[in-house]
Amino acid sequence: MRGAPALYLITDRRACARPLPDEIGRTLEGLDGAHVAVQLREKDLTARELFRVGGEVLSVCRRYGVPLLINDRVDVAMALGAHGVHLGGGSLPACEVRRIWPEAFIGVSCHSAAQVHERAPGADFATWGPVFATPSKASYGPPVGTTGLDDALSVGLPLVALGGIDEANATGVRPGGFAGIACIRAVFSSPEPHRAARRLLAAFQAADRE
């Protein structure tokens, strides 16, 4: 099993000012790949389209030594030779993916302690949220914040804070027990995504120095 990324970049090509592979390449410049992972989350694409875009993104990620996880589509992830997959509530269970793909880097989405207990087997880490209000996670209801977090952490699965994370609050989530932060618009909506990503990672890691 691997640990969680300190910075988990989740794509939204519609928020990008440039083609997605170019935007990811620019974002990863100057980042330490050992602390970063990318999730390709483009749910509107067909399997064929996702395979094409995924191949371009994977080439960029390999150049920077950053693992690429494909959202939900285990078949596309394996066909691409991606590093792993991120699984939601309607996806295959992580334990079943682990059985057919032992070396996969597997993340799971969780919005409550009960879901962490249920989805942890076979996973390397889980995203937890939304921690703060964010338009991209409005369909999940009000932010969960840290309600039930101690129970979730007792499972022993590294948790990555998701939802409304920005430079102003990234430092504050670290003491709660989170192993990383996940970002979509805070990076990919920025006119300078590479600077935004570096600042976010630095803000999160700053809690270790306080």
Q: How do residues 125-179 score in pLDDT, each as one tens digit?
A: 999 999 998 776 566 678 999 899 999 999 999 999 999 999 999 999 988 899 9
Q: Is the model's pLDDT at 181 over the cut of 80?
A: yes
Task: Tell me which of 64-68, 135-139, 203-207 is least confident.
Answer: 135-139
Look at residue 137 in the predicted model and tell me its pLDDT: 57
Look at residue 138 in the predicted model and tell me its pLDDT: 64
Q: In whole angstroms, what is the distance from residue 207 CA to residue 205 CA?
A: 5
**Tokens, residue 112:** 């409550």
Average pLDDT, integer, range 66-79: 99
The per-residue pLDDT for range 94-136, each reduced to its tens digit, is: 999 999 999 999 999 999 999 999 999 999 999 999 999 877 6
Q: In whole angstroms, what is the distance from residue 126 CA to residue 124 CA?
A: 7
Q: Residues 54, 70: contact at Cβ < 8 Å?
A: yes
Which class is 7-167+178-185 in CATH? alpha beta
At CA 28, angle to CA 131 and CA 199, rounded to 5? Answer: 50
Look at residue 17 in the predicted model and tell me its pLDDT: 86
Q: Is the model's pLDDT at 210 over the cut of 70?
A: no
Helix axes 20-28, 193-206, angle to 10 degrees: 40
Task: Tell me which of 12-16, 87-91, 140-144 is least confident.
Answer: 140-144
Average pLDDT, integer, range 13-19: 91
Look at residue 207 in the predicted model and tell me its pLDDT: 74
Average pLDDT, integer, range 179-189: 95
Helix or strand run (H / E) with residue 161: strand 159-162
The per-residue pLDDT for range 17-38, each reduced to its tens digit, is: 899 999 999 999 989 999 999 9
Nearest residue to 10 via CA among 174, 163, 170, 133 = 163
The per-residue pLDDT for range 40-51, each reduced to its tens digit, is: 999 999 999 999
Domain boundaries, the chain: 7-167+178-185
Q: Is the N-terminal amide bond of 5 cis, ω within 30° of 0?
A: no
